[in-house]
Amino acid sequence: MLENTRLVTSESVTEGHPDKVCDTVSDAILDEVLRADPNGRCACETCATTDTLMIFGEISTTAKIDVEAIARKAIKEIGYEYDNLGFDFNCEIINKVHQQSGDIAMGVDESAEARAGDTYVYDRIGAGDQGMMYGFACNETPSFMPLPITLAHELTARLTEARKSGEIPWLRPDGKAQVTVEYKGNEPKRIHTIVVSTQHADGINHDLIVKTVVEKIINKAVPSDLIDGRTRIFVNPTGRFVIGGPNGDSGLTGRKIIVDTYGGYCPHGGGAFSGKDPTKVDRSATYYARYVCKNVVAAGLAERCMLELSYAIGVAKPISLRAYTYGTGVVEDQVLEKIISKVFDFRPAAIIDNLKLRTPIYSTTTNYGHFGKRYLPWENTDKVDALKTAYNEIQAKNGN
């Protein structure tokens, strides 16, 4: 490899992947809770295996939610309606949901700040858990996302589109894609390797699968100028992928956290998203950190920006906030932190209010990444002007 070059690999999976089946069910249940009761609490987990789905976790709501009916509808919409796949919407469903622990609820209902006498509206609720959260944005793509994960999601979304439309009738719901991009410095130059593995009907010739996937999936999802004569392409490299979904491997909510975020391009705090209501900062604060970073890059304050947050359970204000621009910022990172803190409010109640997170939008996030979709509220760049103003004020104060 040439000097100053590096390879970055990211993966995506289709909605029929066993882990994504579980994420989809968990987020579908969350949406129904919020649709009926915007203040409902939900931390819903799902696991799946051959012909069996179990739903567990905590749901506290005034509404009556039929989790079994919601799960069956979600499974059918994914495409598991065939009785020969070893898993379908008529599977056995085990319901082990119970109410949220009172020990957790007391810290969320009334934050440490509120108990100490602070009556400001955004101090009224505390973080639903402790932990670290990361946000990221860069100027590599129009969506301000890294190129490898963007292309991986394009491939898996295209697989699903071709299956559901009937364009490729022998495709089945499970599938994966992996893209390795070669960078020179911080600039993506070419695609080094593409891997696509897709479940298919029995009896389909392997050469036909390879030819069809290259022509109808890869060539339609990936810009041709990024592929050259040295690009390696692997399609179903084991030679057969008939047994898939929860029948081929067990699934679990929250096991695709790297797929859901930045594809390994930057650190991850470890918290999963699906099935969690916005009082859980694993989800809401990670969304907000992305919102901050995207606005920073859109404002021209950095070419790449990562934000690291941490929270204590039951406390409204974050414990720590750090910004990293990898040497691409127009100011030092410590100065950028001051600018960010001047524009953004990181208390959970403020995040929920600013991003309107008590609405049933979560099923639209489940598959093909939680970031980079323009219709999601944390993808707005409505703080660009405020950031520029804060930057100019600090510059003026420093005599620059």
My answer on whether 207 and 225 are in the same domain is: yes
> Are the beta carbons of 277 and 28 closer than 8 angstroms?
no
* Confidence at 99, pLDDT banded by 50, 70, 90: confident
Q: 264-313, pLDDT tens digit by residue?
A: 999 999 999 999 999 999 999 999 999 999 999 999 999 999 999 999 98
Which residue is listed with tokens 């009926």?
A: 36
Which residue is listed with tokens 């898939």?
A: 244
Query: Mean pLDDT over residues 210-214, rounded?
Result: 98
Q: Which two tokens stand for residue 127?
A: 């973080």
Is the CA virtual torsion 23, 26, 27, 28 positive or negative? positive
233, part of any domain: yes
Range of the domain at 174: 5-12+147-243
- Tell me the CATH number at 352: 3.30.300.10
Widest distance between CA atoms in the chain: 73
My answer on whether 300 and 218 are in the same domain is: no
H/E segment holding residue 96 = strand 92-98
Lowest mean pLDDT among 57-61, 103-107, 357-361, 389-393: 103-107
User: Count of alpha carbons within 13 Å of 253, Cβ hemisphere only?
Assistant: 26
**DSSP sequence for 203-253:** T--HHHHHHHHIIIIIHHHS-GGG--TT-EEEESTTS---S-HHHHS-EET
Domain count, the chain: 2
Instruction: From 30, 52, 32, 34, select the one nearest 43 (Cα to Cα).
Output: 30
Amino acid at 302: A
pLDDT for res 289: 98
My answer on whether 335 and 387 are in the same domain is: yes
Instruction: From 162, 79, 108, 138, select the one nearest 329 (Cα to Cα).
Output: 138
Lowest mean pLDDT among 12-26, 79-93, 122-136, 346-360: 122-136
Q: 32-82, pLDDT tens digit by residue?
A: 999 999 999 999 999 999 999 999 999 988 888 999 999 999 999 999 997
pLDDT for res 214: 98
> Are the beta carbons of 35 and 98 closer than 8 angstroms?
no
384, part of any domain: yes
* Confidence at 396, pLDDT banded by 50, 70, 90: confident
Which residue is listed with tokens 């065939």?
A: 82
Q: Which two tokens stand for residue 263?
A: 């594809």
Amino acid at 136: F
pLDDT for res 106: 47
**380 φ, ψ (degrees, to nearest 5):** -65, 150
**C-alpha separations of 178 from 14, 236, 244, 264, 287 in Å:** 12, 12, 18, 12, 24
Where is the domain boundary, 243, 267, 297?
A: 243
My answer on whether 346 and 315 are in the same domain is: yes
69, part of any domain: no
> Are the beta carbons of 135 and 372 closer than 8 angstroms?
no
H/E segment holding residue 89 = none
Is the CA virtual torsion 216, 217, 221, 224 positive or negative? negative
Angle between helix axes 384-397 and 281-298 (nearest 10 degrees) is 70
**269 φ, ψ (degrees, to nearest 5):** -75, -15
Query: Mean pLDDT over residues 328-354, rounded?
Result: 95
Query: Mean pLDDT over residues 94-113, rounded?
Result: 63
Q: Which residues contact 69 (CB under 8 A, 6 or more apart)?
A: none
> Are the beta carbons of 296 and 336 closer than 8 angstroms?
yes
* Confidence at 3, pLDDT banded by 50, 70, 90: low
Res 153 pLDDT > 50: yes
H/E segment holding residue 191 = strand 187-200
Q: Nearest 10 degrees: CA dihedral of 352, 146, 180, 362?
A: 20
My answer on whether 136 and 151 are in the same domain is: no
214, part of any domain: yes
Q: 365-374, pLDDT tens digit by residue?
A: 999 999 999 9
pLDDT for res 267: 93
Q: How far apart are CA 277 and CA 362, in angstroms?
A: 9
pTM for the full model? 0.93
221, part of any domain: yes
Res 345 pLDDT > 80: yes
Res 131 pLDDT > 80: yes
pLDDT for res 69: 96
Amino acid at 114: A
Q: How far apart are CA 108 and CA 312, in angstroms?
A: 11
Q: Which two tokens stand for residue 351?
A: 């995040």
> Are the beta carbons of 161 and 315 closer than 8 angstroms?
no
My answer on whether 308 and 368 are in the same domain is: yes
My answer on whether 152 and 182 are in the same domain is: yes
* Confidence at 215, pLDDT banded by 50, 70, 90: very high
pLDDT for res 130: 86
**377 φ, ψ (degrees, to nearest 5):** -65, -30
Res 115 pLDDT > 70: no
Q: How far apart are CA 103 and CA 123, in angstroms?
A: 19
Lowest mean pLDDT among 110-114, 201-205, 296-300, 318-322: 110-114
My answer on whether 137 and 165 are in the same domain is: no
pLDDT for res 107: 47
202, part of any domain: yes
> Are the beta carbons of 366 and 14 closer than 8 angstroms?
no
